[in-house]
Amino acid sequence: MKLFGVLGDPVSHSLSPVMHNAAFKALGMDCEYHAFRVSPENLEKALYGAYALGFGGLNLTIPLKEKALDIVQPSELARQIGAVNTVDFEHGMAGHNTDGMGAKMALSSAGIKITGKNILLLGAGGAARAIAFQLAKDGARVTIANRTLERAEALAKDVKKVGKAQASGYENLKNLIQDSDILINSTSVGMYPKISGTIVTSDMMHKDQVVFDIVYNPQNTLLLKEAKKAGATTIDGVMMLVFQGAESFKIWTGRTPPVDEMEKAVREKLA
């Protein structure tokens, strides 16, 4: 049996085990995926331990993604983003970041084209970095809006190395939303248990817009409810979670994962 896992602190809330174990079962693979609580100071030992034990691969979650950069051999994209969420042990200890690809695939699977689109990204944290780099590389014009303008400016400056990006505070949000084709919330606003929060309301959105919330608990956030009121197309956070996991699965196994089974397992667990 081949073991896989996710390391984080905390990690008990992770939906990765239910998602990946559903994929292994559907493909009849003799593999298991588990969650392991690991603190940042023990990350290096944990990674080398998993490598020595013959693990097939690992995912990393908060607060380990940045620290892993100094331990593994990161891909160029992971280095640019400044975070690793997937470690492959096939040839040494290779680090990847599949978060941006997860967002891209969530949009693509809904039939949304990215190239040439105006994308407004709310937030400038770790998830925002991955999403901004990926979508700018794919030819979108990305505006990063954040409560702290300096953080948005710092991220936009980095993203400009791969594509078009600019920064803004929240004071001009209504106009920015009106000018955007795709609105992405990469903040934790609206996440369980504080489900009554949203940065954007229906009167600020328009019906030709795509609204994508990377929060997946609850699946139908207040932002998405407001977007539906405005007649916008909506995408929930489950899709990014599933597609970033599917990308990790491909890296580890070289096989095409059953995305439908992974999504079903996650939605059943959340329900």
* Tens digits of residue pLDDT in 176-218: 999 999 999 999 999 999 999 999 999 999 999 999 999 999 9
Are 106 and 224 part of one and the same domain? yes
Query: Do 222 and 106 reside in the same domain of the chain?
Result: yes
> Do 111 and 51 fall into the same domain?
no
Instruction: Note down the domain range covering 18.
Output: 2-97
Q: Is the pLDDT of residue 16 over 90?
A: yes
Residues 163 and 195 in one domain: yes
Counting the structural domains of the chain, the total is 2
| 163 and 185 fall within a common domain | yes
Name the pTM for this structure. 0.95
Residue at 42 is within a domain: yes
So which residues are the catalytic ones?
A: 65
Q: At residue 50, does pLDDT exceed 90?
A: yes
Segment 98-118 shows an average pLDDT of 97
Closest-CA residue to 197 (of 223, 174, 160, 176):
223
Residue 91 in this model has a pLDDT that exceeds 90: no
Residues 231-259 have a mean pLDDT of: 98
Please choose, from the candidates 1, 125, 108, 16, the residue with its C-alpha nearest in 3D space to the C-alpha of residue 60: 16
Exposure string of 72-89, with b = 16+ CB inside 10 Å and e = fewer, is bebbebbebbbbbbbbbb
Closest Cα to residue 227, out of 167, 177, 172?
177
CATH number of the domain that 188 lies in?
3.40.50.720
Same domain, 6 and 30: yes
| Model confidence pLDDT, tens digit, residues 109-125 | 999 999 999 999 999 99
The percent of residues above 90 in pLDDT, for the chain, comes to 98
CA-based end-to-end distance of the chain = 30
- Indicate whether 137 and 71 sit together in one domain: no
Residue 260 lies in a domain: no
Residue 126 and residue 71 in one domain: no
Q: Evaluate whether residue 68 is within a structural domain.
A: yes
Q: How far apart are CA 208 and CA 211, in angstroms?
A: 10
Structural tokens at position 9? 């602190």
In a domain, residue 267? The reply is: no
Q: Which pLDDT score is estimated for 41?
A: 98
**52 and 112 share a domain?**
no
In a domain, 261, yes or no: no
| 86 occurs within a structural domain | yes
Where does a domain end: 97, 129, 161? Answer: 97
Question: Is residue 264 in some structural domain?
Answer: no
Same domain as 196, residue 79:
no
In-domain check, residue 266: no
CATH number for the domain spanning 68: value is 3.40.50.10860
**Are residues 221 and 153 both part of a single domain?**
yes
